[in-house]
Amino acid sequence: MTFVTHYRPIGAAALLALLSACAVGPDYRPPAAASLKVPDRFVAERSANEVDLARWWTSFDDPVLTQLVERSLAANLDIEAAGARLRQARASLRQQQGGALPQLSASGSASRSIGNNGSTFVDPTTGQTISRGGDTTVYRAGFDASWEVDVFGGIRRSIEAARANAESSEANLHFAQVSVASEVGLNYLAARLAQTQLDIARKNLASQDETLEIVGWRVQAGLVSALDLEQSRQLRANTAATIPNLETSYNNAVNRIAVLLGEAPGAVNALMADARSVPLPPQAVGAAIPAEIVQRRPDIAAAERTLAAETARIGVAEAQLYPALRLSGSFSGSDTSFSDLPSAMIGNLVGAISAPIFQGGQIRAQIDGQRASADAALATYRQTVLTALEEVENALTALTAAERREREVVTAAEAAENAVILARSQYRAGLIDFQALLESERSLLVTQDSRATARSNRATATVQLYKALGGGWEAAPMPATALSKRP
């Protein structure tokens, strides 16, 4: 026997469509640029040439730097972790989307009775009386279906929140790629600076050894006092003492690069062993208008998507104030013949409505708490925008200052090199005392270090500007951990 329910499908469908059209809670709108206090232009505005921000490291024209950055984008473990979190967020979105669909389950069984000739029994599932003689096989089957009608949009708001959360996770992945690329670049520059400073220190040490030898001869000849010899020894020892610290700085930077590449310390030592100077960054690097920076930076996008998710969750909380409609149905039957089983199926359809009456203010408190969470997300979003603009302003100022300082330091270093040549020549001729030579050699080491540091500072400020502009993620590969079907 089959149970049939008669109804008017057109009227019911129209009613459900009408009810489903409303969704409680605020409809999200991104905050306007004016409310974020985004200026029309940067204070530290400067002229700029076109640079491919997606692969900014290629602008340094250093194949080792390019290789290291691209290897890090493919193998860094922080990026892999961010990729896994993105995959998790996408899975959560699919889970929420599945919750909006009807749920269907099926069951079936077969039992065999032996030696009960001419007996009858009542099937506890259907209430049917079944006669059997001798060995009898009874087949049972059932289907259960349920669907929660999203009358007030609570489920849709959950899907909206899950989608925004997945988009936030994707933006966080891109920000991780930006951060890793810039960190590799900064440590590469630090390693090359340490190599340059080591070379300067060792060359000065060799020159000071030569000076120490000359002073020793003059002391033996009675031309100068032993004071000159001790001062020369002191300068030589101070120069030698800087070498261990520089070697430590170099090793720290190289080991950090290896870890950023997902390798153990020492993995890139051979690649970095050939000493090179700090690569020169491109000239006239600038920034676009602030509004473009807001659109480009992944951390800003992540904060905005988090705000969207928190706003949608207000609707999820508010939907609990309203009645919930749940439709469920079941069909089951049993028969001694498998072919006759469909005709033996009976079913029922149930529509249940539940509504909160008294919850002790819990639902209202949850709504208020979620609104506070959305307010916090808005403040975080606005703060992220302002911090990004601050970073760009600071990077522009630092780059301009580094360029100006480098020009002056280069002049000072050239003058110091000439002064040392003249001082040594005059000291050998007895025209100046040792104190003048000592000061010129000490000044040479300082100015040569300053020249190398100034060049590194300009390169470092350029990398920091690229990071502040949000460059380095568009060309990065998607990590395998973010893919549903991993290779």
User: Model confidence at 248, in pLDDT bands (50, 70, 90)?
Assistant: very high
Residues in the chain, how many? 487
pTM exceeding 0.75: yes
pLDDT (average), residues 59-74: 95
CA distances from 160 to 96, 212, 295, 368 (A): 9, 76, 21, 19
The closest alpha carbon to 394, from 43, 21, 53, belongs to: 43
- For residue 132, what pLDDT is reported? 52
* Bridge partners, 111 (sequence order): 138
The Cβ-side half-sphere exposure at 115, using a 13 Å CA radius, reads 0
Q: pLDDT by residue (tens digit) across 211-231? A: 888 888 878 888 777 887 888
Per-residue pLDDT at 3 exceeds 50: no
Q: For residues 11, 16, 21 and 24, what is the CA-based torsion angle, rounded to 10 degrees?
A: 140
Q: What is the largest CA-CA distance in the chain?
A: 137
Q: pLDDT by residue (tens digit) across 464-477? A: 999 998 989 998 99
Neighbours of 102 (CB within 10 A): 11
Query: Please, is 469 exposed, middle or buried when counting C-beta atoms within 10 Å of its C-beta (0-12, 13-18, 19+)?
Result: buried
- For residue 341, what pLDDT is reported? 62
Question: Considering just the CA atoms, what is the radius of gyration of the chain in Å?
Answer: 38
Token digits of residue 378: 């808005």
Neighbours of 20 (CB within 10 A): 15
Per-residue pLDDT at 333 exceeds 50: yes
Spatial distance between the Cα atoms of 333 and 345, rounded to a whole number of angstroms? 4
Listed in sequence order, the DSSP H helices in 297-433 are 298-319, 362-428
Going along the chain from its start, the domains and CATH numbers come out as 19-100+154-321+362-482 (1.20.1600.10), 105-149+323-355 (2.20.200)
Q: pLDDT by residue (tens digit) across 73-91? A: 999 999 999 999 999 999 9
Spatial distance between the Cα atoms of 315 and 311, rounded to a whole number of angstroms? 7
Spatial distance between the Cα atoms of 124 and 111, rounded to a whole number of angstroms? 13
